[in-house]
A and B are shown apart, each in its own frame.
Chain A
Amino acid sequence: MSGVFKTVLSLSVSGSAVILVLLLCGPLARKRLSRRWQYYIWLAAVARLLLPFSPEGSPVGTLFQRTVEPDAAAVSGSVPAPAAPGNTAPDFPEPAGDGGEIPVSPGVPAETAPAKAEIDLWSLLSALWLGGALILLARKVTAYQDFSRFIRAGCREVSDPVLLDRLARIGAEAGVRRPVELFVAPEASSPMLLGLFRPRIVLTALEMPEDDFRYTVLHELTHCRRRDLAYKWLVQAAVCLHWFNPLVWLMAREIGRACELACDESVLRTLDGPERRAYGDMLLRAAEAGGVLGASCGSATLSENGKLLKERLTAIMSFKKTTRTAAALSLVLTIALTAGAAAAGAYSGPARSSAAPERDTDAAFFYTQEGYYQPPYLFEVAWNISEAATKDYASARAALPEGGAMTVYFEDACKGMAGDKTAMDALSALLGRLRSEPFPITRPLVVSARNIQGADPAALAERYYEEGALPQFGAVFPQLNKNAQEAMLEKLYDDGSTAFFSMALKHLEPGSPLAARLAERAYDGGNIAFFSLLVEHTASQAELEVWLARAREDGRLNFTSVLLDTLDRDEELETLKAEAEARLVREYAAHGVTKNGQEYRWNNQLVRIFLDVRSADSSFVTLSINPKGTVDIKVSRGGDGAITAVSLMDSAEAEALLADMNDPDDGWDKPVTTASPAGATAGGGAVTVNIPRLGPQQDGIAWLGEFDLAPGDQIRYDVSAETGPFLQVGFVRGQESPDSRRFCSVSNPRTDGVLRCASSFTFPAEAGTYRLFVRAPEGAVGNVRGSVVITPRGQAEKQDFVPSEEQVLAARRQALAGMTQSQVQRLNTVIRQANLWWEHKYLYDNIFQELENPESLYWNYFDRTGEIQTGWAYDGELDIETVCRREHLTEDQFYAKYGTPVVTENAYDADNFIALLDELTASVRSQSLRSALEYIREEVRLAAEQHSMEHANNEYRALHDLDYFLLRYGPADVGPYVTDGSTICKYYGTLSVYTK
């Protein structure tokens, strides 16, 4: 038993590492990545907690053995084996009858006592653990049974075929094929999904608007489709097993939260603007109408608590379909995390679970899985499986038609085909065909193979559709005859199955009358998703023009913008958006609100929270939060949609809204600075106030001196402090108090930890003497750090130069002139990935601090490629200084004895990266872009040569500027996906293209 417990302990330790990484990633991921990713990535932690497999020699595994077993080893080493069979201590396994060493024998009592105590302690702990786990498990199961019985007693079946029909139709739309039971239980607190094997939706009432029914059911069916209940039970199993580990409880809570958000996201994906609004309304009403029975761990409920509900509503309001950038970033993080998890001894599943099956130009990074028909076989093939995963699969060499051979991997289910000549011949032909595609194939994995000779394609297509097997369906569909294809398409449309529909559409001839008919239906029915699929795949240019004219005439903005998008008429699309925007700006202006870019002003004050709930067309809610603002306003509209009033938001409302917004990113924009002496220093006209470390200030406010300020002065804050809730920095005039009137103030409304206010302003008020303050209105302020830079007007412009989008576009045209599309693409990809890599290391590894030490193992990133070591892990129980003193070890010797290397993968060392940069430079015609790349190259070289952090940092800054300010426009292209755009809007000034 103690063996099992030790395994659980070791899983707990390595699982905790994964949980910690994920928790730390949270604030960043929340803003940038799809909720779905944020939800499923937790599986890595759950798997780590539940599965006792580990790559050989993983740090945690070996560490754990080392800390758990040394005493036993020491004992066995010191006792020269007086064999006494039949007399061994009961807790030790019987040794093999070869007279080998017996660790403990009663003949040596002096040595037995401590070992015995050890054994007893372990047995005791194991018993405690087992008892706890069993009690918890029993409690969870009985609680679920009670709950389920309680619900069942108070509920009745819904027998109205109208509602059941509606449910069935919505099920088809949500991709749930199996029948789902429908009950109503007035005592339940919220609608919910029950039942792992036989899903049942329980509603709280039937008397609700049709839309509410639809969204409620859609939400629950989405849980059902995604098997969220199975996931929840898995998590509960982990909680029972690791009940002693608070991180696991925290993880369970986070997963529950992520589950609802991911479910909402998945529902929202299928809804357009007004529908989204309605969905949010439904969530609110459901919360209001709640009965008395709470949720149990084994059910998925619609609304659980107020805080989560607010977060969900905010997410709905700001919902955007995941962009390619975000998808790429997800992938980068997934790779980084999987690598990290593997290094920490986590279970790393086959590549299939992690990577997004998305095709992109840099397909070499993407795991893809598709179905192919190569007579007489139907294959499902994945490629680009990770190198590490290859050892999990059986493999064989397949001859290629043009000569040579390729290693192919097989899923267990089809590894038998390696010996089947017909199958291998078909596979060879398929590989030959695929190799001629633009995306290179590496490491193909045969997921399934099926000889379909003589089978009826129509029946097969039907079956694959029923099974939800999209790849196979895609492979079989082209084999259908025309009539069967059309019948199938019609059915898919009726069923509302977008995925299968779009797969099938690819094989429909252009100009097909059926497509035209379906497009007409989609247009009439307002089904924008199907409409855009149809016109994208089947409509000719001329037909698109006709549609466009019609949509314009009908004033259907949604359809117009889809069509403009399909026609690649970006400029008109922009115009359309601009027109809508201009209308809005005029409307606001008429009510005293001026809008400039993302900034709103009201009565000459910068607006912090701007809320406008509109219901007319697709853009129904505008919620803008600008941390620099000082006033919170909301727009009220009448029944006809016209603005009736603009008013101040009351502070309770504003704080509630802010409190539920995501925490600001600390660390994301942490400037790399070197310490400078305390006090104000004048340098180049600018005044830098380096704030000394201040102890706790009792009255919650710290005064940092008086300054003469004039309008147009530039002020930049970067102040952090340990305070109670809420940190504020700003200026007040003369002897006024911050409560009356403050200027250029920044507030960070977070609740605990180190709060940071970083921002910059142009000073707006009249000239005079102002006092600088830092305060925590609701508590003591202490450990203030940071700086405030005041740059007098005139000198400010150059210093704070950030290229505008127009400047960027103009510079980009020049910089990229003469390059081919694919060269530009390549440049983009390399720079973007390098920049994201740095930002990631910056965030999670604090890499610049690490690199300050020339001996740091992090320099392996510059010196080596492949598997590199970036640090040492050792048991946290050991105090390194004590151990070194006791055993007379140097730090290096300590690591050699007790440490386990922390190993990661590195794709490019400095030499390789320089070679890559040279290749890019060769494709560039513009002199200034060349010099930027050469600058990076030189900084990489110097960094590697001198192990100098400054050069590494220069490399990062230049990559950052290139990525966000030349190859894309950070503030516009990435800004919308983050709440705090300070990094993206930060320009380090490394590019000569912007200097006149």
Chain B
Amino acid sequence: MPQQISDSELELMKIVWAAGGTALYAHIMAELAKTGRAWQKNTVITLLSRLVDKGFLKVGKIGRRNEYTAAVSQADYQASQTQSLVNKLYQGSARDLVAALIRREALSARDYEELRRFWEEGEA
């Protein structure tokens, strides 16, 4: 089970995931710039090495360049995050979460339908 990561680290993970799970450092910087986050080089390196420490990324070398590979898929991450959310706020009960979402109308009818199907497949 991977640890918690900060919002800024998540930003970097999203870039790596969006690049198909593997990205060069230069690509990450470029993508950050596109979203208006002109972070300093050392800031990004620090955040990336924290992600490596936490087991979210693996780092390899292509020549002198660093290549980062996601060690956790986006789906796995979301699942674990949901699980921890459920554990934290709803005492392990996913039903309470869904109920809460429906009450706040945070789930559309289509979302709900998809959820139901997913649930039943899981049951089967």
Pairwise interchain contact A182-B46, C-beta atoms closer than 8 A = yes
Pairwise interchain contact B6-A157, C-beta atoms closer than 8 A = yes
Pick the contact of A165: B7, B39, B45 (CB < 8 A).
B39
Pairwise interchain contact A157-B50, C-beta atoms closer than 8 A = yes
Against B, the Cβ 8 Å flags (1 = close, 0 = not) of A136-162 are 000000000000000000000101110
Pairwise interchain contact B6-A165, C-beta atoms closer than 8 A = no
Judged by a CB distance under 8 angstroms, whether B37 is at the interface is yes
Pairwise interchain contact B8-A160, C-beta atoms closer than 8 A = yes
Pairwise interchain contact B42-A161, C-beta atoms closer than 8 A = no
Within 8 A of B (CB), among A159-200: 159-161, 164-165, 167-169, 171, 178-182
Judged by a CB distance under 8 angstroms, whether B108 is at the interface is no
Pairwise interchain contact A161-B50, C-beta atoms closer than 8 A = no
Shortest Cβ distance from residue A408 to the other chain B in the assembled complex, whole angstroms: 33
Pairwise interchain contact B42-A159, C-beta atoms closer than 8 A = no
Contact flag A169-B40 (CB < 8 Å), given A157-B6, A159-B9, A161-B8: yes
Expressed in whole angstroms, the Cα–Cα distance for A161 and B48 within the complex equals: 12
Expressed in whole angstroms, the Cα–Cα distance for A182 and B43 within the complex equals: 10
Residue of A nearest to B64 (CB): A463
Interface centre among A165, A169, A178 (most CB of B within 10 A): A165
Expressed in whole angstroms, the Cα–Cα distance for A501 and B82 within the complex equals: 51
Judged by a CB distance under 8 angstroms, whether B103 is at the interface is no
- Chain A interface residue count, CB cutoff 8 Å, equals 15
Residue of A nearest to B43 (CB): A164
Pick the contact of A159: B6, B41, B49 (CB < 8 A).
B6
Contacts of A169 in B (CB 8 A): 40
Pairwise interchain contact A167-B42, C-beta atoms closer than 8 A = yes
Contacts of B46 in A (CB 8 A): 164, 168, 179-182
Pairwise interchain contact A168-B6, C-beta atoms closer than 8 A = no
Pairwise interchain contact A164-B6, C-beta atoms closer than 8 A = no
Pairwise interchain contact B6-A179, C-beta atoms closer than 8 A = no
Pairwise interchain contact B41-A164, C-beta atoms closer than 8 A = no
Shortest Cβ distance from residue A156 to the other chain B in the assembled complex, whole angstroms: 10
Contacts of B7 in A (CB 8 A): 159
Contacts of B43 in A (CB 8 A): 161, 164-165, 167-168, 179
Interface centre among B39, B40, B41 (most CB of A within 10 A): B40
Contact flag A180-B42 (CB < 8 Å), given A159-B7, A161-B37: yes
Residue of A nearest to B6 (CB): A159
Residue of A nearest to B11 (CB): A161
Expressed in whole angstroms, the Cα–Cα distance for A167 and B43 within the complex equals: 8
Contact flag A159-B8 (CB < 8 Å), given A164-B47, A179-B45, A179-B49: yes
Contacts of B9 in A (CB 8 A): 159
Shortest Cβ distance from residue B69 to the other chain A in the assembled complex, whole angstroms: 20
Shortest Cβ distance from residue A221 to the other chain B in the assembled complex, whole angstroms: 11
Interface centre among B9, B39, B43, B45 (most CB of A within 10 A): B43
Pairwise interchain contact B50-A164, C-beta atoms closer than 8 A = no
Expressed in whole angstroms, the Cα–Cα distance for A164 and B41 within the complex equals: 10
Residue of B nearest to A160 (CB): B8
Within 8 A of A (CB), among B33-81: 37, 39-43, 45-47, 49-50
Expressed in whole angstroms, the Cα–Cα distance for A168 and B39 within the complex equals: 9
Contact flag A165-B40 (CB < 8 Å), given A179-B46, A182-B46: yes
Residue of A nearest to B41 (CB): A168
Expressed in whole angstroms, the Cα–Cα distance for A425 and B47 within the complex equals: 49
Within 8 A of B (CB), among A440-486: none
Expressed in whole angstroms, the Cα–Cα distance for A501 and B6 within the complex equals: 37
Contacts of A178 in B (CB 8 A): 42
Shortest Cβ distance from residue B13 to the other chain A in the assembled complex, whole angstroms: 13
Expressed in whole angstroms, the Cα–Cα distance for A164 and B49 within the complex equals: 13
Contact flag A171-B42 (CB < 8 Å), given A159-B6, A159-B9, A160-B8: yes
Pairwise interchain contact B50-A168, C-beta atoms closer than 8 A = no
Expressed in whole angstroms, the Cα–Cα distance for A160 and B7 within the complex equals: 9
Shortest Cβ distance from residue A109 to the other chain B in the assembled complex, whole angstroms: 67
Expressed in whole angstroms, the Cα–Cα distance for A159 and B54 within the complex equals: 14
Contacts of B47 in A (CB 8 A): 159, 161, 164
Against A, the Cβ 8 Å flags (1 = close, 0 = not) of B77-114 are 00000000000000000000000000000000000000
Expressed in whole angstroms, the Cα–Cα distance for A181 and B43 within the complex equals: 9
Within 8 A of A (CB), among B1-37: 6-9, 37
Pairwise interchain contact B42-A168, C-beta atoms closer than 8 A = yes
Contacts of A179 in B (CB 8 A): 42-43, 45-46, 49
Expressed in whole angstroms, the Cα–Cα distance for A826 and B7 within the complex equals: 66
Residue of B nearest to A161 (CB): B8
Against B, the Cβ 8 Å flags (1 = close, 0 = not) of A63-75 are 0000000000000
Shortest Cβ distance from residue B66 to the other chain A in the assembled complex, whole angstroms: 12
Shortest Cβ distance from residue B59 to the other chain A in the assembled complex, whole angstroms: 13
Expressed in whole angstroms, the Cα–Cα distance for A165 and B41 within the complex equals: 8
Expressed in whole angstroms, the Cα–Cα distance for A181 and B40 within the complex equals: 14
Contacts of A164 in B (CB 8 A): 8, 39-40, 42-43, 46-47
Shortest Cβ distance from residue B113 to the other chain A in the assembled complex, whole angstroms: 37
Shortest Cβ distance from residue A224 to the other chain B in the assembled complex, whole angstroms: 12
Contacts of B49 in A (CB 8 A): 179
Contacts of B39 in A (CB 8 A): 161, 164-165
Shortest Cβ distance from residue B123 to the other chain A in the assembled complex, whole angstroms: 39
Contacts of A157 in B (CB 8 A): 6, 50
Contacts of A181 in B (CB 8 A): 46, 50
Contacts of A165 in B (CB 8 A): 39-40, 43
Shortest Cβ distance from residue B101 to the other chain A in the assembled complex, whole angstroms: 27
Shortest Cβ distance from residue B8 to the other chain A in the assembled complex, whole angstroms: 5
Shortest Cβ distance from residue A614 to the other chain B in the assembled complex, whole angstroms: 36
Expressed in whole angstroms, the Cα–Cα distance for A264 and B44 within the complex equals: 29
Expressed in whole angstroms, the Cα–Cα distance for A167 and B50 within the complex equals: 16
Shortest Cβ distance from residue B16 to the other chain A in the assembled complex, whole angstroms: 17
Expressed in whole angstroms, the Cα–Cα distance for A179 and B41 within the complex equals: 9
Residue of B nearest to A171 (CB): B42
Contacts of A167 in B (CB 8 A): 42-43
Residue of A nearest to B9 (CB): A159
Shortest Cβ distance from residue A303 to the other chain B in the assembled complex, whole angstroms: 26
Contacts of B8 in A (CB 8 A): 159-161, 164
Contacts of B50 in A (CB 8 A): 157, 181
Expressed in whole angstroms, the Cα–Cα distance for A179 and B6 within the complex equals: 18
Shortest Cβ distance from residue B71 to the other chain A in the assembled complex, whole angstroms: 19
Expressed in whole angstroms, the Cα–Cα distance for A852 and B84 within the complex equals: 87
Shortest Cβ distance from residue B81 to the other chain A in the assembled complex, whole angstroms: 16
Expressed in whole angstroms, the Cα–Cα distance for A167 and B46 within the complex equals: 11
Expressed in whole angstroms, the Cα–Cα distance for A180 and B47 within the complex equals: 11
Expressed in whole angstroms, the Cα–Cα distance for A164 and B9 within the complex equals: 12
Expressed in whole angstroms, the Cα–Cα distance for A160 and B40 within the complex equals: 12
Residue of B nearest to A177 (CB): B42
Expressed in whole angstroms, the Cα–Cα distance for A169 and B39 within the complex equals: 10
Shortest Cβ distance from residue A218 to the other chain B in the assembled complex, whole angstroms: 15
Expressed in whole angstroms, the Cα–Cα distance for A159 and B7 within the complex equals: 8
Residue of A nearest to B50 (CB): A157
Shortest Cβ distance from residue A164 to the other chain B in the assembled complex, whole angstroms: 4
Shortest Cβ distance from residue A497 to the other chain B in the assembled complex, whole angstroms: 14
Contacts of A160 in B (CB 8 A): 8
Interface centre among B37, B46, B49, B50 (most CB of A within 10 A): B46
Expressed in whole angstroms, the Cα–Cα distance for A171 and B46 within the complex equals: 13
Expressed in whole angstroms, the Cα–Cα distance for A161 and B38 within the complex equals: 10
Shortest Cβ distance from residue B63 to the other chain A in the assembled complex, whole angstroms: 13
Shortest Cβ distance from residue A584 to the other chain B in the assembled complex, whole angstroms: 43
Shortest Cβ distance from residue B40 to the other chain A in the assembled complex, whole angstroms: 3
Expressed in whole angstroms, the Cα–Cα distance for A164 and B37 within the complex equals: 13
Contacts of B45 in A (CB 8 A): 179
Residue of B nearest to A159 (CB): B6
Shortest Cβ distance from residue B52 to the other chain A in the assembled complex, whole angstroms: 12
Expressed in whole angstroms, the Cα–Cα distance for A161 and B46 within the complex equals: 10
Q: Which 9 A-B pairs have the closest CB atoms?
A: A159-B6, A168-B40, A168-B42, A164-B43, A179-B42, A179-B45, A165-B40, A179-B46, A161-B8
A-B contact pairs, 6 of them (CB 8 A): A159-B7, A164-B39, A164-B47, A165-B39, A165-B43, A169-B40
Given A161-B47, A169-B40, 9 additional A-B pairs, CB 8 A: A159-B6, A164-B42, A165-B39, A165-B43, A168-B46, A171-B42, A179-B42, A180-B42, A181-B50
